[in-house]
């Protein structure tokens, strides 16, 4: 694949991913608002200059903007796309509209505002469940490699901890696992941290403690990342169809698979973020827009290269991008639930205060919170972008 073709494919893949997960997030807010009788003044797909716009019968302006990197819904009474209250506009609306002001988001009861706010992340989790379930139903679910040790690298952390070939790992730090893939995802972000493994060895049940070693790993694209590694090898894959480990599933099993895979992603991501906040994990695996674009491009390139025909390449491209959208949707939902003003989680914190204190936080305090929240989000973005740049530089130096 030429460099130009790769760039165009990567750009398309990135726009596809961001557009899907963000628009679904905002549609969650929009439909929850409709259910609660809140008027949406505008729904924008993308940012920047308007390419097309139209007003529906409910008075909402739907627009497609020039930069398709997300979107937003703006409710009546909002000062901006972050749904912060506009005090002057709210006062004027209440006086001018009277009972009709009930269509304003900020005049709704706490439960309605909380529901509308939480609906965005909820929509992301529902999207992830739908994606994983649909993939399992249409092409089969993965035949997971069992959490059985196939080999132990000499001189590794696993050997030091006493692992043996044939050991079955049933839990990590008290959390039950069922596949070897879960071992990998639990270990890579914990270099230098001691981990407790509950192991079944024949008739014995024992707990082994191992500390993954920080290991610089080079990927197929020439970039390097530092992961935690134990030195455990898995057992040979037993079930394969056309080199992709799949197994047929029914509707109920597919839905269960979608829920399970979404919950696994939520649990692992949540614990990783929690460890970062408490200083127990390195933030080097956090990615920003550049990292997402890189992941989208690499996924697209792998998919196209793996196909034996143009049709198979297109099929793999679609399947893998949709699957990546599922994981990205989980990440977006979780990030938005962080208790940071300007994010959905910050709004929910304000509403919790209002429910307990029986009065809303003052407009001044909310405004300060939004500014601090914006600064914190920008700092997080800068950190993630720094990680992305370091990875990109590692491909050349």
Report residue 55: phi and psi, to 5°: -105, 130
Q: Enumerate residues 6+ apart whose C-beta is below 8 A from 232.
A: 149, 151, 152, 153, 156, 158, 163, 183
Give dist(CA 82, CA 343) in Å, integer: 7
CA 307 to chain centre: 27
DSSP per residue, 328-385: HHHHHHHHHTSS-TTSHHHHHHHHHHHHHHTSPPPHHHHHHHHHHHHHHHHHHHHHHH
Identify whether 26 is a catalytic site residue.
yes
Backbone torsions φ then ψ of 229, nearest 5 degrees: -135, 145
With a CB cutoff of 8 Å and minimum separation 6, the contacts of 246 are: 139, 140, 141, 142, 143, 239
Q: Which of 26, 182, 186, 294 is catalytic?
A: 26
Please check whether residue 191 is in contact with residue 228, taking contact to mean a CB–CB distance below 8 angstroms: yes
Residue environment code for 58-70, b if the CB has 16+ CB neighbours within 10 A, otherwise e: eebeebebeebeb
Residues in the chain: 397
User: What are 130's two structure tokens?
Assistant: 């739908």
Running DSSP on this structure, what letter comes out for residue 361? P
SS3 state of residue 256: helix
Q: Which residues are catalytic?
A: 26
């Amino acid at each position: 694949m030429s460099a130009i073709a790769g760039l165009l494919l990567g750009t398309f893949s990135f726009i596809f991913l961001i557009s899907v997960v963000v628009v679904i997030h905002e549609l969650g807010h929009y439909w929850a608002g409709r259910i609660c009788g809140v008027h949406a003044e505008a729904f924008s797909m993308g940012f920047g200059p308007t390419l097309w716009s139209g007003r529906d019968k409910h008075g909402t302006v739907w627009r497609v903007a020039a930069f398709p990197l997300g979107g937003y819904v703006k409710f009546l009474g909002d000062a901006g796309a972050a749904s912060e209250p506009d005090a002057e506009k709210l006062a004027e609306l209440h006086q001018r509209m009277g009972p009709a002001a009930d269509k304003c988001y900020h005049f709704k009861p706490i439960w309605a505002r909380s529901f509308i706010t939480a609906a965005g992340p909820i929509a992301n989790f529902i999207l992830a469940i739908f994606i994983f379930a649909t993939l399992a139903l249409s092409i089969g679910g993965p035949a997971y490699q069992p959490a059985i040790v196939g080999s132990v690298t000499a001189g590794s952390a696993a050997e030091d901890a006493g692992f043996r070939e044939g050991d079955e790992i049933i839990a990590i730090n008290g959390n039950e696992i069922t596949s070897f893939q879960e071992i990998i995802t639990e270990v890579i972000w914990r270099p230098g941290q001691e981990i407790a493994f509950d192991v079944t060895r024949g008739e014995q049940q024992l707990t082994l403690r191992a500390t993954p070693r920080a290991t610089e790993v080079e990927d197929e694209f020439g970039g390097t990342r530092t992961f935690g590694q134990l030195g455990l090898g898995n057992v040979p894959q037993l079930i394969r169809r056309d080199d992709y480990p799949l197994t047929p599933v029914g509707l109920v099993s597919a839905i269960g698979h979608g829920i399970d895979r979404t919950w696994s992603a939520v649990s692992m991501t949540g614990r990783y973020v929690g460890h970062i906040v408490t200083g127990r994990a390195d933030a080097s695996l956090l990615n920003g827009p550049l990292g997402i674009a890189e992941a989208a491009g690499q996924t697209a390139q792998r998919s196209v290269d793996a196909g034996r025909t143009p049709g198979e390449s297109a099929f793999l491209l679609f399947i893998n991008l949709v699957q990546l959208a599922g994981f990205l949707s989980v990440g977006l939902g979780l990030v938005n639930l962080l208790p940071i003003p300007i994010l959905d989680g910050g709004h929910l914190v304000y509403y919790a205060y209002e429910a307990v204190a029986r009065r809303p936080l003052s407009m001044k305090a909310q405004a300060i919170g939004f500014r601090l929240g914006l600064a914190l989000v920008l700092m997080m973005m800068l950190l993630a972008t720094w990680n992305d740049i370091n990875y990109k530089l590692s491909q050349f130096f």
